[in-house]
Structure 1
Amino acid sequence: MTRGSLRLRLLVAGAASILIALGVSVLGLMFLFERHVERRVEAELGVFLDQIVSALDKTPEGTLVLSRDPADPRFRVPLSGLYWQVDTGDGLIRSRSLWDTQLQLPADELSNAGVHRHRIDGPAGQRLITLERSVLLPTPLGGGKIRAAVALDAADVTAATMAFAADLLPYLAVFALVLIVAAYVQVSVGLRPLAAIRRRLAAIGEGRTSRVGTGFPDEILPLARELDGLLEAREMQVERARARAADLAHGLKTPLQVLIGDVNRLRTKGETVIADEIDQVVDTMQRHVEKELVRARVAAGALDATADVASVIERVLSVVGRTPEGAKLNWSLDMADKAVARVDPDDLAEALGNLLENAARHARSRVVTTVRLQGQMLSIRIVDDGPGIPEDRLAEMTQRGARLDSAGDGAGLGLAIVQDIAEAWGGNLQISNAGPGFEATLALERASSHSPA
């Protein structure tokens, strides 16, 4: 997956959402756990407060004391974090754990037996959770009101909360992994229709089908229908282009034939100079018309067209071999099995016709055609044993109007036409001298395994 991958973006967004949600959940659970522990602590402090109040007694000298200490031994350990204190009005009674300090309770008015909760600063920088109660003493204890308080270091609550979080994190990590895997599965299932669209489009490009079709979810189906509509419009444009090309060819055929007849009449009258000039103009017009018709047909070619290379070559050879030049030559064909090219059969025939006619004009005795498969491409190599082309002229031979034999027939458009056809179908044309002879290699994309057009 690349940075531009939709799958990666969805997975990253999903994983981030899961982690954020779990992070918020951890904070929420820690908060709830802390509140739960605080309630338990306050309940325990309430028990200690009851024990302290119930243990109050009066000495013969009239001094209030605790007849018995609370059960928790931390009350007897200095600065242990658990403290009690009783303010009698005349003085303080406090736990040994307070040592030489005292609880700094806020000024507060409590009703009889009323309980208040505070957060106060304690000894050694501790932050204390404090519970205090106002008690009206009975007459045997001297009457009056006392203020009793019990406090616990809040660090104990924080430590319990962090321990809970540490125990929770491994389980949340496993849970996060399970959710991310589930998100990956969900994304994969959700993107399957898009992958199916991509496969259908690839099949259209390879010529194995002509439409995207249906069978998609409701959210994807409109896209498939739009694509099929575009493909149908493209096919209609192809048909109209072919029809216009045919009309153009038919419209020009009669005037050119009239001119050819005029050329023959001029020669009969002995006016050969002007006849040759007109003949050359007519020949140039014919070849330019052929080239433009080919280019129009190629530009409007169906994307799913395929051609059986063997059958096209054999059809072209059967025509070229019967020409005056071709009848004198030895034609050899070396074919690879299952050579199917992604090209319109008529375009391939046009390209091969130009190459083989060129070979027939210049070969001395033989022309060899070889077809080979090379990965996703196939090459059609045509070699003749003619004089070849000067090395300094090779580069210009595929340009429009380039010719080697300026005295011969034609306007030098054959190789340019072949190159236009090759490039229109994602291929290329390479020419070189074969030593001796001339070599032209037409490379085209291979079509997938299917019935060729």
Structure 2
Amino acid sequence: MYEFRGVKLASLRLRLLAAAAIALFLALALAWLGLTWLFERHVERREAAAMIRSAEVLVSGLRIGPDGVPVADALPEDRRFEQIASGLYWQLSAASGAQRSSSLWDQKLVTSPARDSEWETHKIAGPFGDRLLVVDRIIRPDRNGPAVIVQVAENDRDIAIAEREFGRELAVSLLLLWIALSAAAWAQVQLGLRPLARIRGQMERLRRNPAARLPNDYPAEIGPLTQAINALADARGADLARARSRAADLAHSLKTPLAVLAAQTRRARAAGADDAADGLERAIAAVGAALEAELARSRAAAARGAAEVAHADPKAVVERLIGVIEHSERGEMIAFDVAIDDTLTVPVASEDLAEMLGALIENATRHARRLVRVAGHVDVSGKTVLTVEDDGPGIQDIDAATVLMRGRRLDEAGTGHGLGLAIVRDLVEATEGEIALGTAALGGLCVSLRWPPRPDAG
């Protein structure tokens, strides 16, 4: 799990979106700083250009009076130079004295070293508690006469207000732009991660069918991942095939020794060793049950591999099973009711469905009093449902919960329904189905098998 500043991001999508949003925010913040600085420079240059034009008017009529004080015969036309504390001022300074605009009243501008080659722009502390943007230059009206510092200044309050308004409006605009770009980044992330979503769907198919493999038409960046998944699936399939083969071989190889032991048990009983024969029979029964369970797991593994392409006619399977069970000693005493539509199909191979229903119908026949009912339908959620119920004693709810726990068997709880129910559960789960135990409307046990609709169905 990736952690960013103490926040854990378990989603790759969230990581990409967070990174994009942060990067965009930082870029736009830098853009805001840069643009506000450029705007400030632009406004100051424009105001400085206007003040230089006023200063050039002063310079055009500049002379030195008899007392050595500079005199301006031509004055700028802006009336703010005549209004006291208007924020726009001019001053002519020489060693013998200075002339100032009426707007300065009894104040004066601070002079600083100026150039005589070009106008300079800088900021100074001004009169009336204001801060001023000033342009100044050294002018010599007479070639050999005294130097005059020409200053024109303007209060920068209006400039600061304009800069704040521009910065605020720019911030709002860039915030909207950030939202739009974040939405575009979200769309880009969605588009970029679409192949991964497709892989997720293919992985679900691979989980349902171990023989399936991921296609090779993914983008080049994802190709190595799909190849690694396919290689892992190949290795897993090979390991499972070897394991199933070894388990099946072991189970089949033990059947002959068990048959020999059964024959020895009969000989021991014939010889009068009933206690020894009973012990051997119990041991043989336990080993035989374990072998049946192992073979059932092998069948379940095979059913998992074929579940995606298999279909079975449950009505035909049920009628065939009932036809066999009716000829048994117990089956002759039971009535069978089949309520399955002729068009209903189950996403299971016929032999696997026969294995499941055979165990369930045989179990129901063994515990029923007079009636066993097998029904099938498609529920409102689209699941295919098969139920087997009887009018026998049934089981308690706590026993039903116990038998459906992984690793537990109903026979371990002592209810007498045997190992067949556990085998049915393995086969149902291998074919992506569900099994549930409950109380039947007939009063006995009801076993429900449900399979979800296929993703490609309809």
The residue number in structure 2 matching 1:408 is none
Give the 3-state SS of the residue equivalent to 1:324 in structure 2.
coil
Matched, 1:238 2:249: no
Question: Matched residues in 2 for 1:113 and 1:242: separation?
Answer: 98
Give the 3-state SS of the residue equivalent to 1:68 in structure 2.
coil
User: What letter is aligned with 2:157?
Assistant: A
| Deviations 1:182-234, CA, capped at 9 Å, x for gaps | 32332222111111111212333455981221210011111112222222223
Task: Determine if contact 1:312/1:348 at 8 Å carries over to the other structure.
Answer: yes
User: What letter is aligned with 2:410?
Assistant: Q
Question: Matched residues in 2 for 1:239 and 1:318: separation?
Answer: 35
The residue number in structure 2 matching 1:399 is 410
Matched, 1:119 2:89: no
Q: Cα 1:387–1:30, aligned 2, differ >3 Å: closer, same or farther?
A: closer
The residue number in structure 1 matching 2:251 is 249
- Map residues 196-235 of structure 1 onto 2, 5 A cutoff: 196-207=198-209, 210-235=212-237
Q: Cα 1:339–1:3, aligned 2, differ >3 Å: closer, same or farther?
A: farther
The residue number in structure 2 matching 1:325 is 330
| Deviations 1:338-393, CA, capped at 9 Å, x for gaps | 4435x676655444332222222233443211224343654432222345568897
How far 1:325 moved relative to its partner?
2.7
The residue number in structure 2 matching 1:100 is 106
Larger CA deviation: 253-262 vs 391-400: 391-400
- Map residues 283-322 of structure 1 onto 2, 5 A cutoff: 283-295=285-297, 297-298=299-300, 302=304, 305-306=307-308, 308=311, 310=314, 312-314=317-319, 316-322=321-327
Give the 3-state SS of the residue equivalent to 1:340 in structure 2.
coil
The residue number in structure 2 matching 1:334 is 339
Question: Matched residues in 2 for 1:394 and 1:17: separation?
Answer: 57
The residue number in structure 2 matching 1:89 is 95
Question: Matched residues in 1 for 2:396 and 2:11: separation?
Answer: 51
Question: Matched residues in 2 for 1:63 and 1:257: separation?
Answer: 136
Give the 3-state SS of the residue equivalent to 1:79 in structure 2.
coil
The residue number in structure 1 matching 2:4 is none
Q: Cα 1:192–1:61, aligned 2, differ >3 Å: closer, same or farther?
A: closer
Question: Matched residues in 2 for 1:228 and 1:5: separation?
Answer: 24
Question: Matched residues in 2 for 1:280 and 1:134: separation?
Answer: 122
The residue number in structure 1 matching 2:196 is 194
Question: Matched residues in 1 for 2:427 and 2:179: separation?
Answer: 55
Q: Cα 1:301–1:14, aligned 2, differ >3 Å: closer, same or farther?
A: same
Q: Cα 1:244–1:328, aligned 2, differ >3 Å: closer, same or farther?
A: farther
| Deviations 1:421-450, CA, capped at 9 Å, x for gaps | 5566563341446655x3131334424066
Question: Matched residues in 1 for 2:177 and 2:415: separation?
Answer: 77
**Alignment RMSD, CA only?**
3.6
| Deviations 1:143-164, CA, capped at 9 Å, x for gaps | 3222221112222332333344
Q: TM-score, normalised by structure 1?
A: 0.82
Matched, 1:448 2:454: yes
Task: Determine if contact 1:208/1:450 at 8 Å carries over to the other structure.
Answer: no
Larger CA deviation: 269-278 vs 354-363: 269-278
Task: Determine if contact 2:211/2:237 at 8 Å carries over to the other structure.
Answer: no
Question: Matched residues in 1 for 2:238 and 2:322: separation?
Answer: 33
Give the 3-state SS of the residue equivalent to 1:213 in structure 2.
coil
Pick aligned residue for 2:187 from 185, 188, 210: 185
Give the 3-state SS of the residue equivalent to 2:86 in structure 1.
coil
- Map residues 128-143 of structure 1 onto 2, 5 A cutoff: 128-138=132-142, 143=145
User: What letter is aligned with 2:195?
Assistant: P
Q: Cα 1:372–1:382, aligned 2, differ >3 Å: closer, same or farther?
A: same
Larger CA deviation: 257-266 vs 36-45: 257-266
Task: Determine if contact 1:298/1:421 at 8 Å carries over to the other structure.
Answer: yes
Q: Cα 1:447–1:243, aligned 2, differ >3 Å: closer, same or farther?
A: farther
How far 1:297 moved relative to its partner?
4.9
Q: Cα 1:346–1:225, aligned 2, differ >3 Å: closer, same or farther?
A: farther
Q: Cα 1:298–1:358, aligned 2, differ >3 Å: closer, same or farther?
A: same
Question: Matched residues in 2 for 1:156 and 1:231: separation?
Answer: 73
Question: Matched residues in 2 for 1:371 and 1:165: separation?
Answer: 72
The residue number in structure 2 matching 1:10 is 16
Larger CA deviation: 313-322 vs 40-49: 313-322
Question: Matched residues in 2 for 1:114 and 1:4: separation?
Answer: 63
| Larger RCO (alpha carbons 8 Å, 6+ apart) | 1
Question: Matched residues in 2 for 1:98 and 1:365: separation?
Answer: 119
